[in-house]
Amino acid sequence: MTASTERRIEDVNVIVSGQGGDGSLTVSTILADLLRQRGLNVYTERDVLSRIKGGVAVAGLRASRDVRFGRGDHVELVVSFDLEGIEKMVTQLAPDAVVVYDDSDVPMPAGLLPANVRLFAAPFARLAVRKLGRILYKNSIAVALATRSLGIADDDVRHGFEQRFNRLGPAILGQNLQALDLGFELAEEMGLSAGHDTVEQDGRPEGQLQITGNQAAALGFIAGGGRFFAGYPITPATEILESLEGWLPDFGGVVWQAEDELASVNMAIGAALAGVRAMTSTSGPGIALMQEGIGHAGSAEIPLVVVDCQRGGPSTGLPTKPEQSDLNMMAFGGNGDFPRIVLNPGDPGDCFELTVEALNLAERFQCPVYLALDQALSQNLATIAPFDLDAVTVDRGKRLSAEQLASMSEYRRYAFSDDGVSAYSVAGTPGGMSLVTGNERDEFGRVSTSPENRARMVEKRAQKIESARADLPRGRRTGDPGATLGLIGVGSAYGVLLEAMEELEAGGVSTRLLQPRTVFPVLDETLEFITSCERVYVVEHNATGQLAGIIAQGGGDTKRMRKVLRYDGLPLRPGDIAREIIERESL
């Protein structure tokens, strides 16, 4: 990167690092907005500690002409307010990277940065206190140097500040604009001149969305007819609750922040029993607490959607780090045998679509449906195409009206059927009286311990999954259809694998990729994909290869499958995956 000539930025990775609570995320957000306005697709990520304030907080963003769902292997611009942030990023710096550094406390040690990296250091914090009376204005000073290094016009930056800070009042806006001007003055002194504007991307479609997976799932719930949500705050799922608190009441829905996860799942079950499309969301520890309730929904054949925003475990684990280690709990957790479906989106647009589909499947087959996200997919912003609202359909399944009930000689809530799904009526519908119990029951809902009835009921519920297979979401495929080397990944791994394929192709390795959108039950398409390849690398964020294990349990050829695992709390990177596969292929 240079600031000496006009250039077109087509792919840039930026890191903003500081102490938690000091505003690093704000700086990243401002830069992301400015780059998105230039016509680039933006992806953001965060690396923060599970605390309110303190500790190194790293906000990353990527702005690219192409749609990307992960940060790249190298960083072109670092804005850091302490030395620890520089030390953490130094090995990731691109050869021509720019570092903007606040040396108020510690000067940059000689020899820390590679020779070709350009350093712009100044005491931003001291200057902010001396000139403006508040240390947080150091962020706006640093933004000026960062935008100059990116070649964004000063007037565009000022306009961006006005849009962002206007709502906070003229005083705060004025102070931030003063800080910005201080930064521009510093930039001039350091040789970062204005006027090296970027060139917008040609032909970029209008109306692109900048959204997280959590926000997309919340919108999918509303668009799919969801009208009751109960949840308890937990990282990284809280934004679903917060988003729906702001949006769902406008559509006649109810959002309830419960006292804990046990209450959340049981409230959602109660709402579903009353005929309302209901959902709850949580993370791994909450799923553990909800297991009995979810099992009850499976046994009592009550539609329920549960979003699991996975994080590092077990126990409290790593609340703010990405992991995909709840897959076994979703596929196999709970006491006894009951049907469940596990869907796994790969980007925010997929989160929207699969939330709608989860609501339909839950009612069509009267069972719990999990939506498996992970921290990166849940909380990282990505640029996506607008949702296709015309494609949204609502399927209430075998739901009986009062008129249909009146024409029946008798109503059996749990009547045996070829597909395992019984016609049902909403509680309170005249003629639709039934019993709901956690005990095993007969066709009328009455408690039964009859061995014959027990066996038939277990088989009835199991039949639902076999009946559902034809309707379950199919996976997304890309790559060379004739490649003998396959890749499988879900959640945030999907977007990283798309880019890893490009690096593999550049290294002479042709691949094809499957993102199974239905993780459980394992579909024939997944098994066929594996058997059509000589080797398949299953890439996932856990220590035991849970996705590979589920596929193997469903009939996957283990002789063809290889595991690529990451479980250190860091996001997957395309270069790491490509290098590991190339090394293993060369053995």
**461-476 per-position pLDDT tens digit:** 999 999 999 999 999 9
526 in helix, strand or coil?
helix
* Percent of the chain residues topping a pLDDT of 70: 95
**144-185 per-position pLDDT tens digit:** 999 999 999 999 999 999 999 999 999 999 999 999 999 999
**268-280 per-position pLDDT tens digit:** 999 999 999 999 9
**299-348 per-position pLDDT tens digit:** 999 999 999 999 999 999 999 999 999 999 999 999 999 999 999 999 99
How high is the pLDDT of residue 1? 42
Dist CA 469 CA 475 (whole Å): 13
* 201 pLDDT more than 80: no
Which of 263, 273, 264 has the alpha carbon at shortest distance from 240? 264
DSSP type of residue 390: G
Given a contact cutoff of 8 angstroms between Cβ atoms, the answer to whether 140 and 179 are in contact is: yes
Which of 101-110, 125-134, 186-195, 321-330 is predicted least confidently? 186-195
Give start and end residues of each alpha helix (H) in 477-573. Answer: 492-506, 524-531, 546-553
Q: Which residue has the tokens 């594996």?
A: 530
* 49 pLDDT more than 90: no
DSSP type of residue 407: T
* 293 pLDDT more than 50: yes
> How many secondary structure helices (H) and strands (E) does the chain include?
19, 20
Q: Which CATH code fits 11-190?
A: 3.40.920.10
210-391 classified as CATH 3.40.50.970? yes
Dist CA 530 CA 536 (whole Å): 6
Judge if 11-190 and 476-585 fold alike in CATH terms.
Answer: no
User: How sure is the predictor about 252, in pLDDT bands with cuts at 50, 70 and 90?
Assistant: very high
What residues pair up with 280 in beta bridges, in sequence order? 306
476-585 classified as CATH 2.40.50.100? no
* 116 pLDDT more than 70: yes
DSSP type of residue 166: G
What residues pair up with 210 in beta bridges, in sequence order? 383
For residue 494, give both structure tokens: 């999907």
**486-530 per-position pLDDT tens digit:** 999 999 999 999 999 999 999 999 999 999 999 999 999 999 999
Which of 235, 212, 236 has the alpha carbon at shortest distance from 381? 212
Domain boundaries along the sequence of the chain: 11-190, 210-391, 402-470, 476-585
Neighbouring C-beta atoms of residue 524, cutoff 10 Å: 11
> Which residue type is seen at 316?
T
Sheet containing strand 228-231, strands side by side: 254-257, 228-231, 278-282, 304-310, 368-374, 341-343, 518-520
Q: What is the mean pLDDT of the chain?
A: 93
Dist CA 117 CA 149 (whole Å): 12
More confident residue, 49 or 478: 478
How high is the pLDDT of residue 523? 98
Exposed, middle or buried by CB within 10 Å (0-12, 13-18, 19+), for 73? Answer: middle
**348-405 per-position pLDDT tens digit:** 999 999 999 999 999 999 999 999 999 999 999 999 999 999 999 999 999 999 999 9
Dist CA 155 CA 490 (whole Å): 42
